[in-house]
Structure 1
């Protein structure tokens, strides 16, 4: 469905769509209910999610408890034993089938990613392509990576050494809202092909994209209970997941990543952390200026700057500064911002009111302390409730919030 449409009210949520446009449901409640049924939650409590494009209600996402997390791990552990005994050929076949299904059903996936995250369609497609390529890569390399191998021993004539790779058990995954499809699935695919089970906690605000991916895995033949899902606050549900998992994959803020690392270290389990950044781009005097300007636009404004590798600082050599700036600003002026489902759109929305407030505060603070807005610098409610213009600031110095802290927006 497209922005502005309504499939009618669901079983919960705002009472009267005719009186409050924000109360209309953007997605078919039957589809939403089917996806949400995969979440293990017994509280009866829910969290409302809305579409960044329009403010329409998307879902009432069930909230899990620590008991739900323990129950999810118990089911996953039982299922993992049988899954680990399946032939490698069966597990790699699952990934190849998923690859084909993701590409075949990409239109549905793209719509869902855009509804939940507000990003432009071309940036949503990056997620589809990444999941498909990840599934294909591990399907074709799993045997080489996981097969037993011989190693030279210190007494070759007397002893032999063989390296056997065994599943960890149950892998816990905590995934973020900015790439709701790929980050929810891509860490789990190598875990599955290695014979592990998974318990994941996708971000509640974008959980439907993750759940659609798990539905595809089930259709591809993943046995029941091998992949469990919980949702809820990171401080309780996320912490409970780290307390039980045999290995943890976390993507999120640096502050929370430190807490996850500490918790994992206390338990002597492994973890992988993909955290925040304040990434610079250097444009040196011998750079191809036109290519650098084009690359800078992509680096700064893909997914409205809401990705951990987004460029938030530009350092340009004096010799080419004026030429680069002219080309850079010219390309930004040509960008198309829209709340639509067209591949022609260059930048979409921020994901939440909190993110819009952070970006606005960073720009306002910089301007108040002497920075100059070269382009952008304001919200665009005429396009959608959470849109902010692609923005370039000059004269940013230490002491300004955007100099030190990650803006995670189009700045």
Structure 2
């Protein structure tokens, strides 16, 4: 396993940079971003540390209940004027923001790396996702939200249509693992739909969200429309749930279930992207080298801390040995490191709790007979939270990583001889977020994908094809969530549908003096004729 060592761990003297990582933004710049939020008078700030080094990132003020409710009140005030603007006006700031993010990406790449511990190439995935979402909703929102005509009950006499109104103030709870991309994917459509947003990013990666909020206002978003509050869910969660007109949450399945149950008491709608145990199926005709290379990206991007990353690989027996050899060699060659450049192929885990979970899953499997083909150990010589990308085999039921989500750089390989059996095993999970199929036959890949119970399926890709295609919806089946982000659904979910019908001349009850029996016979004949009309 090759590696690179961050300059700060080599004993060099460093400037006052965020997290003590060489080349990172200055501590003063971090303080300027933190100044965009305030904390409750009785709440002590929380000190966050950099995964690469364990050194301080920033001291973050923590909101209290009253401050969160005040943020909603301010957002609600700003939302009224914003919602009155035409959608075409609202979406313009997204295209300006698109250009600003690309022009200033170097700073946010540094922030994402320092806060989340990512390799730079994985941080760039976040920049890419952010600008793709901005471009899509910046160009298509007006059309998606435009009033829609519908055939009236009586042709020519009933004019009917559907309007879309914003929900009001959307509450968004964002995770630590994709702080820039998931902020953009949830906040942008909520705003362009005419809502205000109160977002609670995770403390660990709050600077990335604050950076994007700053640029959004520079791009023309009115101040106050997008509020950011920081704090633990146990302290400010009640205020978020009680004040929001719609809840968007990304995180664990147990927390998602709890939030759904609580917000349902208010009859407030929500969307949830939750956990996954994502499978990859390698069919017998697959290109082994390409499949193995794709699996490395699918499994170890962002050190496996990606909701849609692959944790189970099913390989046809005819190529299993060759695939495993190629995949293990490519995995072992991954370069680990925490420098702010493109030399490392994988970064660090983000938190001590993730390191403990990954270590526990691997040790449980190893102690029960699984084999570690490569990796399987922490690397404190590189930094406090590094863990080697790990490939397991002989993983069986009863071993923790067989069915439980690891959310780290750990994957298990299994063989199969029958495609139907592989599909059934891939589907044998309470989760259904993402899946991957590898084959030289695109049609066969599509057909296998259609049989997988997952919200997104990528053929000859791990996750990026659907993740980057913003025009199609993304979300989970089964216990992997409810609702979708991206595409038209990702915008319409932030709106209330309203139907309006204008009736002229003839009513829908018998006119005065016409017997009901005669009227119903007339209506029966009319409905038979209407059935034959196109579009009815």
TM range (shorter): over 0.9
Alpha carbons 1:3, 1:53 under 8 Å: kept: no
Alpha carbons 1:376, 1:392 under 8 Å: kept: yes
SS at match of 2:312: strand
| TM-score, with structure 1 as normaliser | 0.93
Alpha carbons 1:25, 1:56 under 8 Å: kept: no
Q: CA deviation at 1:41?
A: 2.1
Alpha carbons 1:8, 1:25 under 8 Å: kept: no
Alpha carbons 1:25, 1:58 under 8 Å: kept: no
Choose 126-135 or 239-248, whichever is displaced more: 239-248
Choose 261-270 or 299-308, whichever is displaced more: 261-270
Q: CA deviation at 1:90?
A: 2.7
Q: How far apart, CA to CA, are the structure 2 residues paired with 1:293 and 1:23? A: 33
Alpha carbons 1:280, 1:313 under 8 Å: kept: yes
Q: How far apart, CA to CA, are the structure 2 residues paired with 1:93 and 1:128? A: 19
Choose 42-51 or 23-32, whichever is displaced more: 23-32
Q: How far apart, CA to CA, are the structure 2 residues paired with 1:90 and 1:100? A: 17
Alpha carbons 1:174, 1:238 under 8 Å: kept: no
| Pairs aligned (count) | 400
Alpha carbons 1:243, 1:263 under 8 Å: kept: no
Choose 380-389 or 238-247, whichever is displaced more: 238-247
Where does structure 1 differ by over 6 angstroms across 4 or more consecutive aligned residues? 21-26
| TM-score, with structure 2 as normaliser | 0.72
Please tell me whether residue 301 in structure 1 is matched to residue 329 in structure 2.
no
Q: CA deviation at 1:120?
A: 0.5
The match for 2:168 is 169
Q: CA deviation at 1:239?
A: 3.5
SS at match of 1:370: coil
Mark the runs of 5 or more structure 2 residues left unpaired by the alignment: 1-5, 411-536
Q: How far apart, CA to CA, are the structure 2 residues paired with 1:230 and 1:3? A: 33
Q: How far apart, CA to CA, are the structure 2 residues paired with 1:9 and 1:151? A: 58
The match for 2:441 is none
Q: CA deviation at 1:27?
A: 4.8
The match for 1:341 is 340
Q: How far apart, CA to CA, are the structure 1 residues paired with 2:301 and 2:233? A: 26
The match for 2:55 is 56
Please tell me whether residue 214 in structure 1 is matched to residue 213 in structure 2.
yes
The match for 1:14 is none
Please tell me whether residue 32 in structure 1 is matched to residue 30 in structure 2.
yes
The match for 1:94 is 93
The match for 2:527 is none
Q: CA deviation at 1:36?
A: 1.4
SS at match of 1:399: coil
Q: How far apart, CA to CA, are the structure 1 residues paired with 2:151 and 2:224? A: 40
Q: How far apart, CA to CA, are the structure 2 residues paired with 1:313 and 1:392? A: 10
Are residues 79 and 395 of structure 1, via their aligned partners in 2, closer, same or farther at CA, if it must alter by over 3 Å? same
SS at match of 1:207: helix
Q: CA deviation at 1:37?
A: 2.0
Q: CA deviation at 1:30?
A: 2.2
What does the per-residue CA deviation read over 1:79-130, in whole Å, with 9 as the maximum and x for residues that have no partner?
1001112233332210011000000000011000000001000010011011
Please tell me whether residue 371 in structure 1 is matched to residue 366 in structure 2.
no
The match for 1:235 is 234
The match for 1:17 is none
Q: CA deviation at 1:25?
A: 12
Are residues 23 and 301 of structure 1, via their aligned partners in 2, closer, same or farther at CA, if it must alter by over 3 Å? closer
The match for 2:312 is 313
